[in-house]
Amino acid sequence: MRIERLSDHQVVVRDLRMADNFFTRAKGLLGSRKLPEGQGLLIRPCNSVHMLGMSYAIDVVFLSKAMEVVRVIPELKPWRLSPVVKGAYQVLELPVGTITGVGLVPGDKLVVLTQ
- pLDDT at 35 (0 to 100): 93
Q: Which residues in the chain come in under a pLDDT of 70?
A: 115
Helix (H) or strand (E) holding 76: strand 69-76
Q: What is the number of domains present in the chain?
A: 1
Do 100 and 73 meet the contact criterion of CB atoms below 8 Å apart? no
Rounded to 5°, the CA angle 104-97-37 comes to: 105
pTM for the whole structure: 0.95
DSSP characters for 16-59? EEEE-SHHHHHHTTTT-S---TTEEEEESS-S--B-TT-SS-EE
Q: In the prediction, which pLDDT does 30 show? A: 86
Q: Which of 22, 87, 31, 24 is nearest to 61 (CA)?
A: 87
Q: What is the pLDDT of residue 94?
A: 98
pLDDT at 31: 83
Domain span including residue 99:
2-113
pLDDT at residue 65, as a whole number:
97
pLDDT digits (tens, 9 = 90+) for 58-72: 999 999 999 999 999
Q: What is the spatial distance between Cα 107 and Cα 17, in angstroms, rounded to a whole number?
A: 23
CATH of the domain at 76: 2.60.120.1140
Task: Estimate to the nearest angstrom the gap between the alpha carbon of 95 and the chain centroid.
Answer: 9
Give pLDDT, residue 26: 86
pLDDT given at position 58: 97
